[in-house]
Amino acid sequence: MAREAKKKKTTKLIALSSTNKAYEFNRPLEKKIKYQGKVVDIKLHEDPKGFSYIVWKNKKYMLDVIEKKQNRYTIMVNGVWHSFTVETPVSLKRKRYLEQQVDLSVGVSIEAPMPGKIIDILVEEGSEVKEGEPIIILEAMKMQNEISSHISGIVQSVSVKKNESVMKDDILMEIRRA
């Protein structure tokens, strides 16, 4: 029963990476993790200046939480970031199920990779675009950046205008797979 499952403490938590790799940990997560079949000590520290780090196999790894939204995390370790969603076995199952239901006829949004100003829109509604084809010129940090389509298809809608300022992740246009 779902209600009971929710009340009962989940014993496992899974960090699912953006590349779909699952890292499973047992709750409670108390400074010990299973690693290659063995339980290994893991030590979390904070230095006097307020930097967090893990000591792992006698090496220091600097940690930083770059983003945290509900169960979405972006964690930086020694300057390299990794994105995860933290899932329970139930939520992971649900997520995997929903992923299978994706409707291919729905447009894929192209989002602004960074905040900036739209300098030029190179395509219009109905244009055919190929993967890797530049579709928008976005100016940010004094550079003009070509934003390319990451899929091939037909432009379904354009959500921005020339000279408009956009925030990161704003939808620029939708492209339907052809």
Partner 1 sequence: MKIKSILIANRGEIAIRIIKTARKMGIRSYVIKTAKEPNAWYLEEADRIIDFSENFDESIPEFLDIERIIKSAKKHKVDAIHPGYGFLAENPDFARRCEESKIIFIGPSHEIIYRMGHKTIAKELARESGVPLLGGSPGAVSDAEEARRVASEIGYPVILKAAAGGGGRGMRVVSREKDIERMFSLATNEAAKAFNNPDVFLEKFVREPRHIEFQILADQHGNIVHLGERECSVQRKHQKLLEESPSPALNSSLRKKMGDAAIKIARSVNYYSAGTVEFLLDSENNFSFMEMNTRIQVEHPVTEMVTGIDLIEQMILIAEGEKLPFTQKDIKLKGWAIEWRINAEDVQSGFSPSLGTIEKISWVENEHVRVDTGVRDGSVITPYFDSMIAKLIIHAETRERALQLSSQAIMKFWIKGTKTTLAFCRAVLQNSNFRKGNFNTSFISKELKIHYQNEPDEALLAAFFATYDYAREMNENEEKPLHTENGKAITPWVLKKRLR
- Decide if 99 contacts 87 (C-beta within 8 A): no
Least distance from partner 1 to the Cβ atom of residue 161, Å: 17
What gap in Å lies between CA 51 and CA 164, rounded to an integer? 38
Task: Name the minimum Å distance from CB 44 to partner 1.
Answer: 8
Minimum CB separation of residue 69 from partner 1 in Å reads 9
- Name which of 21, 20, 42, 45 is nearest 33 in CA terms: 42
The minimum distance between CB 159 and partner 1, in angstroms, equals 20
Please identify, using beta-carbon distances, which residue of 97 and 104 lies nearer to partner 1.
97
Joined together, the tokens standing for residue 139 give 């100016």
Give contact residues for partner 1 (rule: CB under 8 A): 1-3, 6, 10, 13-15, 17, 21, 23, 25, 27-29, 33, 35, 42, 44, 49-51, 54, 56-57, 61-66, 68, 70-71, 73, 75-82, 84, 86, 88, 90-91, 93-94, 97-98, 113-116, 119-120, 134, 137, 139-146, 168
- Rounded-to-integer distance, Cα 19 and Cα 4, Å: 32
Q: Would you say 82 or 176 has its CB closer to partner 1?
A: 82
Report yes or no: 64 and 75 within 8 Å, Cβ to Cβ. yes
Nearer to partner 1, 33 or 156 (CB): 33
Minimum CB–partner distance for residue 177 and partner 1 (Å): 23
Q: How many CB atoms lie within 10 A of CB 145?
A: 17
Nearer to partner 1, 138 or 158 (CB): 138
- Element containing residue 100 per DSSP (H, E): helix 89-100
Query: Nearest-CA neighbor of 71 among 81, 85, 82?
Result: 85
